[in-house]
A and B are shown apart, each in its own frame.
Chain A
Amino acid sequence: MKLPEYLHKMRGTTRGSPPRVSNEEILWSWIGAFAGIAIVAWVNRLFFEGTDLTMMIGSFGATAVLVYGAVRSPLAQPRNMVGGHIISAFIGVACWKLFHQFPWLAEAAAVATAIAVMHLTRTLHPPGGATALIAVIGSPDIHKLGFWYVLMPATLGPLILLLVALLVNNIPASRRYPEIWF
């Protein structure tokens, strides 16, 4: 590829960004995200406070953007959402165990491998990258979980968010969820 052609690609293809969604959409995104994250937080507080287990990780915020804010996205469908977190969590924990002497390597390998394996398994879910990274950079508590991290929070959390998405996203006439289960 020639240099001008290469540079030209950086100009983008499109004038004008996609349209803003309606106020109703914004409200339903807010309600879904509020309910989903609140329930995960309450489950964490009621059942796991004072234990070694944790229920809430940062990547759930990103998942909420997709499953409550971009309901139609292929990235937000159940296979991607649950599968992406589980696979990425497993890879994150494995990278930590293998490479924890070299944190930079463990971090980079976790995220990059998570993306690759999510692609391979058709479960690409952007928050999965965060789930893998958190397994490596997470607190000592997270590290102590070992492979329990895959189940708790990385499977249970997305399942709760999925349940809320099914209940909330199908209330408004303008929304339906999911587009595809598997």
Chain B
Amino acid sequence: MTDKQNRAQASEPAAEAALEMELTDADILDAMQHIPGYLDISTEDFRTIYHLSHRHATERLFGNTRAENLMRTGITPLQPEMTLDAAAVALVAAGSRALPVVDAGGCVTGILTENDFLRQLEVASLPALLLAMQENTSDLNPRLHAITVRQAMTVPVVTIGRQAGFMQIIGAFHQHAGRSLPVVDEGGRFLGMLLRKDFLHTYHLENLL
């Protein structure tokens, strides 16, 4: 397992916290007031039951989740030696906003995103790029010819193992701002892309991440 996958796992508690709201005593006491009759349970016991039940339900609902079942396949990754203009063609052809970069052995070494292009063009955002183009168009194209994917790509890349489960996926998405994660096999080789929107759509979690 790579270091990157370890990092994804390390943030599982954060993912759990995002999924599960912490209940205060006041929350529980208020609920108890809505139930007629005397409840012989302490707020602390209720909270403990709630946490354990929540964990059990999460496991029941999402326990079979595997990154490899949710990923998009058939994606052609970029090579580190490609120039940025060739990479742009590939991104447009793939209809993606980001593509993984793999070395000769198929291992994911980075990811090239829209933001990487903007950074190389020394603008902060797409509107800034439009303004720059209005003022001075001549400067943009030569730069894209000269820069390789290796120089521009985002490293280190957050990847996710093919067997990663629900909490690991959430943890990985919490780790970076990107919209997609490269899914890798046990050797770190590229298998496919897990898109944030696919993941959220599958589990109706649009309001979570």
Partners in one complex: yes
| Contact residues in B for A21 (Cβ distance below 8 Å) | 36-38
What number of residue pairs across chains A and B have CB atoms under 8 A from each other?
46
Question: Which of B25-33, B95-103, B181-189 binds A?
Answer: B25-33
Q: Is the CB of B36 within 8 A of A175?
A: yes
Q: Which B-chain residue is minimally distant from A172 (CB atoms)?
A: B36
Say how far A31's CB is from chain B's closest CB, in angstroms: 14
Q: Which A-chain residue is minimally distant from B31 (CB atoms)?
A: A19
- Give the interface size bracket for A toward B: 10 to 19
Q: Is B40's CB within 8 Å of the partner chain A?
A: yes
Q: Is A51's CB within 8 Å of the partner chain B?
A: no
Q: Is the CB of B37 within 8 A of A174?
A: yes
Partner of A19, one of B33, B40, B42, B44: B33
Partner of B29, one of A19, A22, A25, A174: A19
Q: Is the CB of B29 within 8 A of A16?
A: yes
- Give the interface size bracket for B toward A: 10 to 19
Q: Is A92's CB within 8 Å of the partner chain B?
A: no
Using known A-B contacts A15-B25, A16-B29, A19-B29, determine if residue A70 contacts B40 with beta carbons closer than 8 Å. Answer: yes
Q: Is B58's CB within 8 Å of the partner chain A?
A: no
CB neighbors of A among B8-66 (8 A): 25, 29, 32-33, 36-40, 42-44
- Looking at chain A's contact residues, the main secondary structure is loop
| Contact residues in B for A72 (Cβ distance below 8 Å) | 37-40
Say how far B141's CB is from chain A's closest CB, in angstroms: 66
Q: Which B-chain residue is minimally distant from A75 (CB atoms)?
A: B40
How far, in angstroms, from A149 to B172 measured CA to CA in the complex?
66
Q: Is the CB of A16 within 8 A of B37?
A: no
How far, in angstroms, from A62 to B169 measured CA to CA in the complex?
53
Q: Is the CB of B37 within 8 A of A175?
A: yes
Q: A25-B36, A75-B40 are in contact. List 11 more A-B contacts (CB 8 A).
A: A14-B44, A16-B29, A18-B38, A18-B42, A24-B36, A69-B38, A70-B37, A70-B40, A71-B37, A73-B39, A175-B37
**Hey, which bits of chain A sit against chain B, CB under 8 A?**
13-16, 18-19, 21-22, 24-25, 69-73, 75, 174-175
9 A-B contacts (beta carbon < 8 Å): A13-B43, A13-B44, A14-B43, A14-B44, A18-B32, A18-B38, A21-B38, A70-B40, A71-B37
